[in-house]
Structure 1
């Protein structure tokens, strides 16, 4: 299973699940070892198909770092933190998440859109 680390150590993602708000964006940055990107994407696509079928899912996009970067970032939009937490906590999602190799590192964090 991928190692989950907190992007903001003072506000872990699991604490963010307790905030009832929405719509939200989950930004999840992955550090993928060199040479494993294609295998990672195969697993991620399976996970994404499951998530797309869950209540409250809106959209997602995957981005890859440039210039040989090992980083990939998924931006997923959900109607609410509750919908994301329910999908994330489901046994099927947990089974799919367990398929990722231990050397993948994930930095998930939940954001709300603001006006600037």
Structure 2
């Protein structure tokens, strides 16, 4: 059965969605059984189609580890945590948020915001 494992044990993705901040970047690491990779990509694409028409969605990109890796990373940009939360509540089944994914999938979603570091990067 697919499951969610928090990236940071001290804060859940659901508590992050209640923060008044934006823009935010969702990074979701997926551990996928390599034999289920095609099924995973299909399920991710179907879900992404639903998310990309929601208010506040900016962009998304799926990445896969190389060398036969079963690790996928989704990077999505949202105008705000609140808009991401609204989209999650509209798009995903609240009783089973991972229902569309292959049984061996483990997701670790987390919201981030840019950090300014003088001389290196801007906020």
Which structure is higher in helix share? 1
Task: With the length of structure 2 as denominator, give the TM-score of the two structures.
Answer: 0.87
Native 8 Å contact 2:17 2:82 kept in 1: yes
Counterpart of 2:32 in structure 1 is 32
Unpaired stretches in structure 1, ≥5 consecutive residues: none
Native 8 Å contact 1:25 1:75 kept in 2: yes
Runs of at least 4 residues off by over 3 Å: none
Q: Relative to 1, partners in 2 of residues 1:96 and 1:110: Cα closer, same or farther, differing over 3 Å?
A: closer
Give 1 or 2 for the bigger CA radius of gyration. Answer: 2
Give CA deviations for 1:35-73 in whole Å, capped at 9, x if unaligned: 111111111101000000000000001110112211000
Task: With the length of structure 1 as denominator, give the TM-score of the two structures.
Answer: 0.92
What's the RMSD between the two structures over aligned residues?
A: 1.5
Give CA deviations for 1:2-56 in whole Å, capped at 9, x if unaligned: 3011000001111101111000000000000021111111111010000000000
Counterpart of 1:21 in structure 2 is 21
Native 8 Å contact 1:47 1:96 kept in 2: no
